[in-house]
Amino acid sequence: MLSFIITDEITKKLKHVSELTADKASYLHSLSPEYRESIHRYARISTIGSTTRIENAILTDPEIKWLDATLSADGRPTAFFKEKKYIEDKLSKERERSIEEVAGCRDMLAIIYTQASDLFPLTETAIKGLHKELLQFYPPAVHYLGKYKIVPNNVVETVAGTNIKKDILKTCDPGPITDSAMRDLVDWYNKTLPEHPWPIAVASEFVFRFLAIHPFQDGNGRIGRALFALALLQSNDKNIKIVIPYIAVDRHIEKHKEEYYHVLRRCSDGKFSQDPKKYRLEYFLTFILKMLEEAIGNDIDFYAGKHSSFMNLADAPRKVLSCFEHYPEKKLALKDVVEQTKISRRTVIHALNVLVKKSFLQKSGTGPATKYQITF
């Protein structure tokens, strides 16, 4: 049973999202495996970027796409350690922690996308394993990987453009209370998810309660948002299970970051409760439904359009775009592209214009100061 009542208004929203999901599942079914894989990669990169930036990482999606391609080319579990120096040399020094967080988030999401059904019934051990994956490359986390917190922590919002931090939610105390709360939460989840007609509602309560407990010393926000995807992939809703790998819900949460933190506080009155019925979980579910509606209504079409535009590029624009993919952080001038591609100046100019028009590149400056940078 849920810890809150689903009102008629929320039921209408759940049905609307269900209808959207069914339409997109049917559309995805009509696409070739290659097409679906391209859409999934866009969604996965966007999810990694958004969920880490919500927690103040600074890698852009093009940088993450390049990092992902670099690690995928190796393909071995040791790829990050082998390529770390090369990646750090390619990107700015202040990105070091972000690189470590992105690489770990990439591995954690890979497990969720590929092993969701194997992880049900969910266990605390599995959740701790996801925490290990998330922070495996971050050296300061070595002492608390996969372990519940021993020091109090809170849900904190960093005010955009500043170092000012605002407490949003005073979380569960460490020790026996956290242990008990997590045990109860996982037991409730395993009993409720298979039986409830609205898995999105179950997933929303599960994630909110997890965030209010905040069981780990670090990484709770990223784990919590990943658990939302895991819950829907473990549900009995065939359509939502099809659609989830092809949308980036976190991309929309990132756009509504202030509202996200406001809702967390509004639901909880700023403090953890051992009785989940004291939370106003309907507010969090309403917010999540809004994010899902945006993601399902926009992401798949957007990513499909990007794939289609790329497949229709002529050889010269593809070669020019490849040049930019190797320099995801930099803005390149016309002469830089000519030098890198060995293509005639006139052909490069035409290719750049095509890529800007199709939104693969962003143009800044005028005249000799004109530069271009890859977009996502």
Whether the pLDDT of residue 359 is over 70: the answer is: yes
Is the pLDDT higher at 75 or at 298? 298
Q: Delimit the CATH 1.10.3290.10 region(s) of the chain.
A: 31-310
Q: Quick one: which of 90, 84, 180, 212 has its CA closest to 139?
A: 84
Identity of the amino acid at 74? D
In CATH, which superfamily holds the domain spanning 31-310?
A: Fido-like domain (1.10.3290.10)
Per-residue confidence (pLDDT) for residue 319, from 0 to 100? 97
pLDDT of residue 93: 66
Query: pLDDT category, 56, cuts 50, 70, 90?
Result: confident
Q: Is 67 within 8 Å of 95 (Cβ atoms)?
A: no
Is there a contact between 214 and 220 (Cβ–Cβ < 8 Å)?
yes
pLDDT at 168: 94
pLDDT confidence of residue 162: 73
- CB atoms near residue 115 (< 10 Å): 13
Backbone angles phi, psi at 372, to 5 degrees: -130, 150
- Looking at the domain that runs over 314-374, which CATH code has it been given? 1.10.10.10
Q: What is the arithmetic mean of pLDDT over 356-361?
A: 96
Using the CB atoms, write b or e for 353-365: b if 16+ within 10 Å.
Answer: ebbeebebbeeee
First to last CA, the chain: 41
- Give the separation between CA 18 and CA 12, rounded to whole angstroms: 10
Question: Sign of the CA dihedral 167, 173, 175, 181?
Answer: negative
Q: How far apart are CA 296 and CA 290, in angstroms?
A: 10
pTM: 0.94
- CATH 1.10.10.10 domain extents, the chain: 314-374
pLDDT of residue 196: 97
Convert the pLDDT of each residue in 232-266 to its tens digit. 999 999 999 999 999 999 999 999 999 999 999 99
Percentage of the chain exceeding pLDDT 70: 99
What's the average model confidence in pLDDT over 320-337?
94
Reported in sequence order, the residue ranges of the chain that DSSP labels E, i.e. its strands, are 154-158, 165-170, 332-333, 361-364, 371-374
Write out the DSSP string of 288-324.
Answer: HHHHHHHHHHHHHHHHHHHHHHHHT--HHHHHHHHHH
Distance CA 310, CA 99 (A): 27
* pLDDT tier, 347 (very low <50, low <70, confident <90, very high otherwise): very high
The DSSP 8-state label assigned to residue 38 in this structure reads H
pLDDT exceeds cutoff 90 at 157: no
Q: Is the dihedral of CA 156, 157, 161, 164 positive or negative?
A: negative
Tens-place pLDDT, residues 97-120: 899 999 999 999 999 999 999 999
Which pLDDT belongs to residue 94? 72
Look over the chain and give the mean of its residue pLDDT values, rounded to a whole number. 95
- Rounded Cα distance between 52 and 50, Å, is 5
Query: Is the omega angle on the peptide bond into residue 121 within 30 degrees of 0, that is, cis?
Result: yes
Listed range (84-93, 195-204, 237-246) with the worst mean pLDDT: 84-93
Going by the DSSP 8-state scheme, the letter that residue 363 receives in this structure is E
Position with higher pLDDT, 174 vs 327: 174
Q: Are 86 and 41 in contact (CB under 8 A)?
A: no
Residues 6+ apart with CB under 8 A from 251: 46, 47, 49, 50, 295, 299
- pLDDT beyond 80 at 163: no
- Spell 61-79 as b/e; 16+ CB within 10 A means b: bbbbbbbbebbeeeeeeeb
